[in-house]
Amino acid sequence: MRVQLARQLLDRQIVDVDGRLVGRVDDIAFAVDDEGYPYVDGLLTGQGALGQRIGGRVGRLLVAVADRFTEDPPAPPLRVPLATVAGVDSAVRLRCRAADLPSSPVEAWLRRHLIERIPGSHRASG
């Protein structure tokens, strides 16, 4: 059976177990096992991952913008381990909550420097 990962995964929404949007699949992370066979290790989401996938001027711009909105550039993409994926249909559905995943450095920076300064933002639910 031939699997076309790009068609099956790239640009699909990633949705947690509660139906909350986590992001989009911007790239696929591969690893190599002890016998030398490649396998999908996880899904990557975020401006940095998308910029590296697109390449060229637009890709470099996306990476630069992501790096600008982090405390410690370069901004690593959010890595979603393949073990957390419950299934793939019109979206990639996770078996965990978004809060259980590592936070995106860009999202954390924006929350700290922008969102928290908005009056009443502390009352917003997660």
Q: What does pTM read for this prediction?
A: 0.75
Classify the C-alpha dihedral 62-67-69-75 as positive or negative. positive
pLDDT in tens, the chain (126 residues): 456 777 888 999 999 999 998 889 999 999 999 999 999 999 999 888 888 888 899 988 888 888 887 777 786 788 999 999 999 999 999 999 988 987 777 777 777 777 777 887 666 555
The CA-based dihedral angle spanning residues 117, 120, 124, 126, taken in that order and rounded to the nearest 10 degrees? 30
